[in-house]
């Protein structure tokens, strides 16, 4: 009963996070590609478990649809066929909002799955309510995960889904921010692919002077990740991972937001607006550049092909000469209600998914990036990159990318951050005053929940 009451207190926050995942897409933790994505397939999971008194069945809930559903089903079936100790019963729940609602309902009824897909914003609230197993190195290795696997995971991915200094979910579908470029426009104005925001301004001024109706830079409607990236590149700590001290209204943060706002005011940049996502306008040739998720390549490609666009991808431009990209995507968490045998099954499945050939296969099928460094040397994956050069830029950023710190109340913080960006981009409010208010709201959220 105590667990159920605790869940009920948590439920409202979970539903809010589900709505954020659906509406905000890649704003922080989930991917634009996941929500912009493929229509759901009819096949919503793996086949029924074979009857066996010895095989432990592991219920796995996720939000993958369409080709992503096909890819996770193929990997799950191969794991099930590779051994007899565990059977992964993977079940698609719809989108992220539907998955969150399913998990909330199961928590109230006491019928949670063994594991599920989670966004990084979900994890702190769940962990603080005792709903997730702490995935310490000792826990993972004592249940069968090799130290080689853990050592090979990109450091930035291991910093996601951390609460109070401890990890509560393992990386699975991860992406970076990425800059898309229209080679035709660059050639027209005699520019190389911009490597810094200063070079982007030079291109914008050239296009404006020529009376070009096309915009230089396209942002998604939610551009809060670009603001955080530029603020951190400019020296702002934004939110400190260890102390949760907040520097959102620092001079460095204000300068970064003013830079973005000035681009809007000068006509150098715009958001997706009624298009919903900027992959469409970019693919139609309406901008020289566009910043979005690396997992969105699959959405740019068909529109670009239809319009005969010569395009490519590049690393996120530097601001104040600093390289940085923010990671997004989702994780796989283990619920505290799982038995010891089910916990071992979770670890065994994660070990399988994180094998270099398997994380590379997932990346090739979905547009996400490999989780392990050694996967970049997988022969099939290297051949894939040769045939799909647009996928290469994301991998070049894996060594220096980072995940935004998360904390209890993080979903609420993401909401007020998105609202703040709307205040400056839509309502025309001054960046300084908006960030001062955001600073106060963020501090209050952190103090109330941590």
CATH number of 2-175+328-396: 3.40.190.10
The residue assigned the tokens 């209890």 is 408
Region for 121 from its dihedrals, namely left if φ exceeds 0, alpha if ψ lies in -120 to 50, beta otherwise: alpha
* Residue 35 parent element (H or E): helix 32-35
Specify the DSSP element, H or E, that contains 361: helix 356-366
Write down the pTM of the prediction.
0.86
For residue range 357-366, what is the model confidence (pLDDT) as tens digits? 999 999 999 9
- Tell me how far apart the alpha carbons of residues 203 and 197 are, in angstroms, rounded to a whole number: 10
Nearest partner of 25 among 177, 253, 179, judged by Cα: 177
Q: Where are the domains of the chain?
A: 2-175+328-396, 176-326+407-449
- State the pLDDT confidence band at 23, using cuts at 50, 70 and 90: very low
Helical residues (DSSP H) of 85-211, grouped into ranges: 96-109, 122-128, 137-142, 147-152, 155-158, 183-189, 197-209
Of the pLDDT bands very low, low, confident and very high (cuts 50, 70, 90), residue 36 is low
Calculate the alpha carbon distances from 392 to 354, 370, 371, 386 in Å.
20, 11, 14, 9
Q: Regarding beta strands 56-62 and 115-118, do their DSSP bridges make them parallel or antiparallel, or are they unpaired?
A: parallel
29 closest CA partner among 127, 134, 162? 162
End-to-end C-alpha distance for the chain, whole angstroms: 24
Contact 33, 299 (CB under 8 A): yes
The packing angle between helices 410-425 and 2-24, to 10°, is: 30
Residue 19 burial (10 A CB sphere; 0-12, 13-18, 19+): middle
Sort strands 215-219 and 287-293 into parallel, antiparallel or unpaired.
parallel
> Would the pLDDT of 44 be above 60?
no
Helices (H), 214-339: 224-233, 251-265, 279-283, 297-306
> pLDDT band at 215, cuts 50/70/90?
very high
Residue 26, pLDDT above cutoff 90? no
pLDDT per position as a tens digit, 339-352: 999 999 999 999 99
**Contact 133/332 with Cβ under 8 angstroms?**
no
Which segments of 245-336 does DSSP mark as H helices, in order? Answer: 251-265, 279-283, 297-306
Q: Return the sign of the alpha-carbon dihedral for residues 213, 217, 223, 228.
A: negative
Q: For residue 25, what pLDDT band results from cuts at 50, 70 and 90?
A: very low
Please give the Cα distance from 97 to 251 (Å, whole number): 36
For residue 143, the number of C-alpha atoms closer than 13 Å in the C-beta half-sphere is: 22
d(CA 356, CA 372) in angstroms, rounded, equals 6
User: Coil, strand or helix: which one is 31?
Assistant: coil
**Fold observed for domain 176-326+407-449:** D-Maltodextrin-Binding Protein; domain 2 (3.40.190)
Question: Which is more confident, 306 or 18?
Answer: 306
Asked if 2-175+328-396 and 176-326+407-449 have one fold, the answer is yes
- Is the Cβ–Cβ distance between 204 and 263 less than 8 Å? yes
Confidence of residue 1 (pLDDT cuts 50, 70, 90): very low
Q: How much is the average pLDDT of 312-338?
A: 96
Q: What is the pLDDT of residue 108?
A: 87
- Integer CA distances (angstroms), 97 to 118, 191, 305, in order: 11, 43, 32
Write down the pLDDT at residue 82. Answer: 97
Q: Reply yes or no on whether the pLDDT at 448 is more than 70.
A: yes
Question: Cα separations (Å) of 131 from 134, 300, 413, 428?
Answer: 10, 38, 21, 42
How far is residue 1 from each of residues 17, 100, 101, 109, measured CA to CA in Å? 24, 21, 20, 11
More confidently predicted of 2 and 268: 268
Pairing state between β 169-182 and 311-314: antiparallel
Residue 325 contacts residue 315 (beta carbons within 8 Å): yes
Encode pLDDT of 181-200 as tens digits: 999 999 999 999 999 999 99
pLDDT digits (tens, 9 = 90+) for 349-407: 999 999 999 999 999 999 899 999 999 999 999 999 999 999 999 999 999 999 999 99
State how far Cα 238 lies from the chain centre.
Answer: 19
CA angle 181, 182, 185 (to 5 degrees): 130
So what's the pLDDT on residue 3?
36
Min mean pLDDT across 6-20, 265-279, 315-329 is at 6-20
């Amino acid at each position: 009963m105590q667990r159920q009451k605790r869940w009920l207190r948590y439920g409202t926050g979970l539903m809010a996070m589900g709505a954020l995942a659906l509406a905000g897409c890649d704003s922080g933790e989930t991917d634009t590609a996941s929500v912009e994505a493929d229509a759901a397939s009819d096949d919503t999971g793996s086949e029924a478990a074979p009857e066996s008194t010895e095989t432990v069945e592991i219920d796995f809930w996720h939000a993958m649809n369409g080709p992503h559903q096909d890819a996770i089903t193929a990997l799950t079936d191969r794991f099930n066929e590779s051994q007899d100790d565990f059977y992964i019963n993977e079940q698609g729940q719809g989108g992220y909002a539907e998955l969150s609602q399913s998990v909330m309902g199961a928590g109230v009824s006491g019928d949670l799955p063994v594991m599920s897909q989670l966004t990084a914003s979900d994890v702190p609230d769940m962990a603080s309510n005792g709903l997730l197993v702490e995935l310490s190195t000792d826990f993972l290795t004592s249940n069968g995960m090799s130290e080689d696997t853990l050592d090979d995971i990109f450091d930035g991915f291991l910093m996601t889904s951390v609460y109070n200094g401890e990890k509560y979910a393992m990386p699975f579908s991860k992406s970076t921010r990425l800059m898309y470029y229209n080679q035709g426009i660059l050639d027209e104005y005699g520019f190389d692919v911009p490597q810094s925001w200063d070079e982007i301004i030079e291109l914008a001024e050239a296009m404006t002077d020529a009376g070009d109706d096309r915009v230089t830079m396209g942002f998604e409607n939610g551009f809060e990740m670009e603001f955080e990236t530029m603020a951190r590149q400019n020296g702002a700590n934004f939110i400190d991972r260890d102390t949760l001290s907040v520097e959102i209204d620092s001079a460095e943060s204000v300068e970064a937001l003013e830079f973005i706002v000035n681009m809007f005011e000068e006509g150098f940049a715009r958001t997706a607006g009624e298009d919903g996502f900027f992959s469409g306008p970019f693919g139609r040739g309406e901008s020289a550049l566009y910043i979005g998720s690396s997992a969105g390549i699959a959405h740019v490609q068909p529109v670009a092909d239809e319009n005969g666009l010569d395009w490519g991808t590049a690393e996120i431009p530097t601001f104040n000469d600093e390289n940085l990209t923010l990671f997004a995507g989702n994780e796989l968490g283990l619920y505290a209600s799982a038995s010891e045998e089910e916990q071992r099954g979770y670890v065994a499945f994660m070990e399988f998914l994180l094998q270099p050939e398997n994380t590379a296969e997932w990346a090739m099928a979905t547009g996400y990036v490999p989780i392990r460094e050694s996967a970049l040397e997988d022969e099939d994956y290297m051949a894939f990159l040769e045939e799909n050069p647009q996928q290469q830029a994301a991998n070049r950023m894996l060594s220096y990318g980072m995940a935004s710190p998360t904390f209890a109340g993080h979903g609420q913080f993401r909401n007020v951050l998105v609202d703040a960006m709307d205040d400056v981009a839509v309502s025309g409010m001054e960046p300084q005053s908006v960030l001062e208010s955001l600073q106060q709201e963020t501090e209050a959220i952190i103090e109330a929940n941590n």
